[in-house]
A and B are shown apart, each in its own frame.
Chain A
Amino acid sequence: KAGVTQTPRYLIKTRGQQVTLSCSPISGHRSVSWYQQTPGQGLQFLFEYFSETQRNKGNFPGRFSGRQFSNSRSEMNVSTLELGDSALYLCASSLRGLAGVTGELFFGEGSRLTVL
């Protein structure tokens, strides 16, 4: 069974640009969450999607946005990049959100963004 796939794995952007990251969840998983990981702040929750609807959002500015498609694949976008946006962006999928289902989040290997 394929795991969570994130693309691109590495990218370099300059301040002011925008970036789009993609996440393909494990087959059958309809919940997709996004996290930002930095050395200073650790892992911080960005948002979570289930069946194309954003159900939960973390404390990030509006420059951070996302969406989910009907096949459960998700994208996140960061506009007007700042130096502080340099981080590892992790996507996780799970079966959570289905009635009565609990369980772990499965993480992808992340997209490492460097903003110059």
Chain B
Amino acid sequence: EDKVVQSPLSLVVHEGDTVTLNCSYEVTNFRSLLWYKQEKKAPTFLFMLTSSGIEKKSGRLSSILDKKELFSILNITATQTGDSAVYLCAVEASGNTGKLIFGQGTTLQVKP
């Protein structure tokens, strides 16, 4: 059965810290891995990683995909209180267009 596991489930840091969020997966015919940020509303897209794009960076956020070891990490440097949110990892299998399998999410709290 396809599965996505995120760790840690929750994390509390102080502004300026660097955090690493983990996502491991088991999926048949992997197609892509996506990271989303969810505050008290709609999940917003961060990154999509595929076989042809295993490292992405946007400002203080970056992500890598290790297809051999079946995991991804999301790094946030110089954290700010606005980074407080639930971070969701999801994977998609080939042929399952539109079906994402989500992990439980990591709740990040950044204290001033």
Contact = CB atoms under 8 A, between A and B. Distances in A.
B50 interface: yes
Contacts of B43: 43, 90, 107
A102 B98 contact: no
Contacts of B48: 102-104
Given A102-B50, A104-B34, A104-B48, A48 B42 contact: no
A18 interface: no
Contacts of B97: 31, 48, 50, 55-56, 96-97
Interface of A: 3-4, 31-33, 35, 42-45, 48, 50, 55-56, 58, 90, 92, 94, 96-97, 102-110
Interface residues of B, number: 22
B32 interface: yes
A32 B50 CA distance: 22
Nearest to A6: B42
Interface of B: 32, 34, 36, 41-45, 48, 50, 88, 90, 96-105
Q: Is the interface of A mostly helix, strand, loop or mixed?
A: strand
Given A42-B103, A102-B50, A110 B41 contact: yes
Given A31-B97, A103-B48, 14 more contacts: A43-B43, A43-B88, A43-B102, A44-B102, A45-B99, A50-B97, A50-B98, A55-B97, A90-B42, A90-B43, A97-B98, A102-B32, A102-B48, A102-B50
A50 B32 CA distance: 19
B67 to A, nearest CB: 16
